[in-house]
């Protein structure tokens, strides 16, 4: 078990190296650089050259890459060219918001997706089945950005049920402890602050959950259908077990393996979806920051973000693999 984890973590190193080389070359091949974005319409050739020199972009790409690697080894991601602050500081400040949002989206996707997928499979061919399969197709096809925009226009702008922007109403004057606003509200017993932070998570959470929810519904449905046809289910039913017991002990548990895998694969999807969702809802997380950084050609921020996504992706999938043995004792990691 321990060796398995270490081996998987060691695999991170070549992954990150390969990714960083590709990204380094790709970013610098894009037209324009941070100096154009920083200066806007105010750039003269001299001021642009000065900024490039300041950022060390006038050196050969190999030298730049070596500098990047040296910093990476010290876990230093450099300085954002846009905000002039350390990339790690920027990420640490914005990280809690993105985590709250992705957790909200995952809770929605799993909490609704699994029961819905199960019910669709049990009532195969009935209305609920068609509705959820059709609905999930729409969920996959609608761009997150568009859905976020529509949700905001209807429920925030027109009906005024939800806030349209930010993570918390600033007039509440909440106390900050960890910068996880919901947690902070609970820790300081400022229940209204915690509730308000949750309320701010609803619309962006729904928008971000749309694709994972659709995928989970479909995979759960397919997987449950497969399990329902297994002999052991018929045996269990023949033994006269209640439907609840059959459902929980036999069907769901066996059907969860592929679902767990797909949740792991969606970690990256959630982070990239957060870029769009946070932008629409002016939600101060890593995603909105990265969206701005793309047009700013903020190389250090973009490099740092992709590196972090890669690490998160590998770690989440490691957790998924480890959870297999909990879900299905026949699977043993070595």
Say whether residue 282 binds another protein (CB under 8 A).
Answer: yes
> Interaction with another protein in 294-333: which residues (CB under 8 A)?
295-297
Say whether residue 97 binds another protein (CB under 8 A).
Answer: yes
Strand partners, 86: 79
Q: Report the candidate in 186, 323, 212, 331 with the shortest Cα–Cα distance to residue 272.
A: 212
3-state DSSP call for residue 79?
strand
Site for another protein (CB under 8 A): which residue of 15, 36, 88, 317? 36
Compute φ and ψ for 86, nearest 5 degrees.
-60, 135
* CB-CB contact of 102 with 289 (8 Å): no
Q: How far is the CB of 111 from another protein (least distance, A)?
A: 9
Strand partners, 79: 86
Say whether residue 33 binds another protein (CB under 8 A).
Answer: yes
> Interaction with another protein in 215-254: which residues (CB under 8 A)?
248
> Interaction with another protein in 154-173: which residues (CB under 8 A)?
156-157, 160, 163-171, 173
Nearer to another protein, 77 or 236 (CB): 77
Question: Which pair of tokens denotes residue 180?
Answer: 């996880």
Q: Find the angle CA(79)-CA(85)-CA(88) to the nearest 5 degrees.
A: 70
Question: Binding string to another protein for residues 173 to 212, with x set by CB under 8 A, is what?
Answer: xxxxx-x-x-xx-xxxxx----------------------
Question: Which pair of tokens denotes residue 202?
Answer: 């609803």
Distance CA 252, CA 201 (A): 29
- CA dist list (Å): 2 to 56, 311, 322, 323, 329: 42, 19, 11, 14, 18
Nearer to another protein, 29 or 334 (CB): 29
Single out the segment in contact with another protein by CB under 8 A; choices: 128-136, 224-232, 276-284, 323-331: 276-284
* CB-CB contact of 188 with 175 (8 Å): yes
Question: Which pair of tokens denotes residue 284?
Answer: 């101060």
Nearer to another protein, 123 or 248 (CB): 248
Say whether residue 37 binds another protein (CB under 8 A).
Answer: yes
> Interaction with another protein in 39-58: which residues (CB under 8 A)?
40-45, 54-56
- Number of amino acids touching another protein (CB under 8 A): 61
The runs of H, that is alpha helices, within 229-248 are 231-238, 243-245
Say whether residue 98 binds another protein (CB under 8 A).
Answer: no
Under the rule (CB under 8 A), what is the footprint of another protein? 31-33, 36-37, 40-45, 54-56, 79, 83-84, 86, 93-94, 96-97, 152-153, 156-157, 160, 163-171, 173-177, 179, 181, 183-184, 186-190, 248, 279-282, 284, 288, 292, 295-297
């Amino acid at each position: 078990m321990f060796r398995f984890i270490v081996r998987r973590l060691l695999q991170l190193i070549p992954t990150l190296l390969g990714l960083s080389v590709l990204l380094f070359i790709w970013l610098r091949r894009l037209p324009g650089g941070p100096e154009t974005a920083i200066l806007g319409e105010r750039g003269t050739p001299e001021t642009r050259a000065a900024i490039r020199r300041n950022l060390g972009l006038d050196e050969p790409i190999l030298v730049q890459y070596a500098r990047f690697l040296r910093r990476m080894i010290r876990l230093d991601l450099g300085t954002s060219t846009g905000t002039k602050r350390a990339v790690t500081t920027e990420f640490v400040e914005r990280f809690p918001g993105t985590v709250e949002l992705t957790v909200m989206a995952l809770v929605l996707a799993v909490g609704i997706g699994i029961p819905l997928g199960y019910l669709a499979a049990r009532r195969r061919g009935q209305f609920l089945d068609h509705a959820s399969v059709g609905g999930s197709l729409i969920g996959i096809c609608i761009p997150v950005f568009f859905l976020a925009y529509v949700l905001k226009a209807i429920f925030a702008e027109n009906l005024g049920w939800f806030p349209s922007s930010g993570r918390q109403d600033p007039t509440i004057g909440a106390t900050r402890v960890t910068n996880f606003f919901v947690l902070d509200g609970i820790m300081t017993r400022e229940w209204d602050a915690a509730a308000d932070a949750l309320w701010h998570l609803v619309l962006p959470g729904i928008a971000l959950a749309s694709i994972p929810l659709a995928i989970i519904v479909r995979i759960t449905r397919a997987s449950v259908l497969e399990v329902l046809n297994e002999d052991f289910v018929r045996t269990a039913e023949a033994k006269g077990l209640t439907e609840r017991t059959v459902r929980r002990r036999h069907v769901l548990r066996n059907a969860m393996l592929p679902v767990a895998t797909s949740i792991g694969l969606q970690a990256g999807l959630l982070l990239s979806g957060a870029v769009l969702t946070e932008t629409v809802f002016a939600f101060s997380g890593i995603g909105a920051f990265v969206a701005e950084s793309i047009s700013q050609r903020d190389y250090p921020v973009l490099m740092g973000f992709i590196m972090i996504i890669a690490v998160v992706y590998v770690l989440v999938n490691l957790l998924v693999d480890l959870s297999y043995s909990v879900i299905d004792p026949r699977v043993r990691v070595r």
